[in-house]
Each structure stands twice: as structure tokens, then as C-alpha cells.
């Protein structure tokens, strides 16, 4: 049986550019699905589960930043912005909306390929790290490490792979205050640099999914400017 090719969803309103990039990435071993508008991308997401997204920012029916936030809420696949917007504020907005990388047009296709490969390799390393251990239990919380699931009183919290990896790191270091930089370097596999909000956003989402505020035998606390701590009662 042939190995499944990584699936990329590319959202780009320049149809010629999108098709050129799709053919290029297709020759390099990737399956690429194209959407030329935000609504087309949303429709495709009902039927596919991409391994990576490539988003333009300026779309005829919306913007890539908002689309990124929508996709990030339901999927943890890497999101690459590929756009003509060149201001530093745009890059900050893109990374703040949940993006993993920001490339400005014009660009070299070999560089695009290298970024795609790098982002997918980081995701695979995260999955491998998550799969290396067995179940971990702390109070009402049970982590099924091989499956990448977190159960609270038997209920699946439906965490994304990165949310689960962040939680696993906190649980395995129970009682230890971990900085955002340390968490980012371990889970994302790279230096934090300008992506300062990623850890905070992931922890905020996983706390909500764990219903942590209404659970009295474990907690995740944050000291402003210091770090995050998992503890049990």
C-alpha cells in the first residue's frame, strides 16, 4: 500500500499562483487542495483534515487572519501565511492569530518547500514525543499518552496535539514553574522569538476544555511574567 501523502490546504485568490504552487508541491510529494476564497476553504474543511495550511491574507470574502483563528480552534496543523502584506504589524497579527510561519511575496519556491518540510517535521516530532509514554493520572485527570487524549472524570477533553503536548509537559513537571519559553522550545521544537502569545493561547484553550475552573483536585496556574505550574490538591 502506498504511504499517504501529506495533505495541504492552500487558500489563495491568485488562481495562477495557486495552481503553480500546487503543481510544484505536488511534484515534491504533497497532495494540495485549493480554495480561492474563505468560504471555499470552510466548505473544504468539512470534508478534509489537512496536515498543513498555506493562507493568503487578502481574500475576496474575508482575511486570512480570521480564517486562521477559525481553523486553529478546531485543528492544530501548522499554518503558514504566504502574502504580499509586508508590514511588521501584519506579521505580528498573523502569528498572534495562531499562525506558525509568515512568508512575504515574492519568495523562492525552494524556500517555500523548505518551510513546508520543516513545519511538518516539527509536527511529527511532537506526535512522536507524545506517543513515547503510557497513561498518566493526576486526580480527576487521566492522560492517555499513546492516544493523545486527556480525560477528565472519564470525559474526553478533545485537545489538539499541541494542547495535549503542553499539558503533558506541565503534568510531568508537577509543582515546577515552567516558563513560556521553556514550554515553547520543547513542544514547538524551536526558539519562541516573536511568537510570544502561542503558549498562553494554548494553555487558555486547554484549561477551558478541561473545565479546570470547576475541578477542585487539579489546577494550572500562571504567575504573570514568571511561568505556568500544574498542581494537584
Alpha helices in the chain (DSSP H): 15-27, 38-45, 64-74, 88-96, 109-130, 161-172, 180-188, 198-210
pLDDT at 1: 38
- Spatial contact of 7 and 51, defined as CB atoms under 8 Å apart: yes
Counting other chains too, the contacts that 16-21 makes at CB distance below 8 Å and 24 or more residues apart are: 21/54, 21/109, 21/112
What is the greatest pairwise CA distance in the chain? 58
Neighbours of 43 (CB within 10 A): 11
pLDDT at 84: 86
Tens of pLDDT, residues 16-66: 999 999 999 999 999 999 999 999 999 999 899 999 999 999 999 989 999
Tens of pLDDT, residues 190-214: 888 777 788 889 999 988 999 877 7
pLDDT at 217: 85
- Spatial contact of 25 and 49, defined as CB atoms under 8 Å apart: no
Tens of pLDDT, residues 167-184: 999 998 999 999 999 999
Domains detected in the chain: 7-128 (3.40.50.2300), 131-232 (1.10.10.10)
Rounded Cα gap, residues 75 and 78, in angstroms:
9
Tens of pLDDT, residues 104-159: 988 999 999 999 999 999 888 877 766 555 778 888 899 988 888 999 989 999 99
H or E segment at 190? none
Residue 2 has pLDDT above 60, yes or no: no
Residue 94 has pLDDT above 70, yes or no: yes
Whose cell is 502569528? That residue is 95
Amino acid at each position: 500500500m502506498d504511504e499517504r501523502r501529506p495533505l495541504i490546504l492552500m487558500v489563495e485568490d491568485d488562481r495562477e499562483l495557486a495552481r503553480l504552487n500546487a503543481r510544484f508541491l505536488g511534484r515534491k510529494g504533497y497532495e494540495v487542495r485549493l480554495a480561492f476564497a474563505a468560504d471555499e476553504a470552510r466548505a473544504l474543511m468539512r470534508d478534509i483534515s489537512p496536515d498543513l495550511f498555506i493562507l493568503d491574507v487578502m481574500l475576496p470574502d474575508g482575511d486570512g487572519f480570521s480564517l486562521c483563528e477559525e481553523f486553529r480552534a478546531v485543528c492544530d496543523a501548522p499554518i503558514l501565511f504566504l502574502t504580499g502584506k509586508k508590514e511588521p504589524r501584519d506579521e505580528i497579527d498573523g502569528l498572534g492569530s495562531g499562525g506558525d510561519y509568515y512568508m512575504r511575496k515574492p519568495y523562492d519556491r525552494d524556500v517555500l518547500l523548505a518551510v513546508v518540510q520543516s513545519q511538518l517535521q516539527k509536527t511529527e516530532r511532537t506526535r512522536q514525543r507524545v506517543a513515547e509514554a503510557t497513561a498518566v493520572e493526576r486526580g480527576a485527570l487521566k492522560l492517555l499518552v499513546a492516544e493523545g487524549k486527556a480525560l477528565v472524570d472519564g470525559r474526553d477533553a478533545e485537545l489538539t496535539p499541541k494542547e495535549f503536548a503542553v499539558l503533558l509537559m506541565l503534568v510531568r513537571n508537577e509543582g515546577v514553574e515552567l516558563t513560556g519559553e521553556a514550554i515553547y522550545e520543547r513542544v514547538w521544537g524551536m526558539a519562541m522569538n516573536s511568537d510570544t502569545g502561542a503558549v498562553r493561547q494554548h494553555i487558555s484553550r486547554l484549561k477551558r476544555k478541561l473545565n479546570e475552573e470547576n475541578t477542585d483536585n487539579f489546577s494550572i496556574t500562571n504567575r504573570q511574567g514568571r511561568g505556568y505550574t500544574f498542581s494537584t490538591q
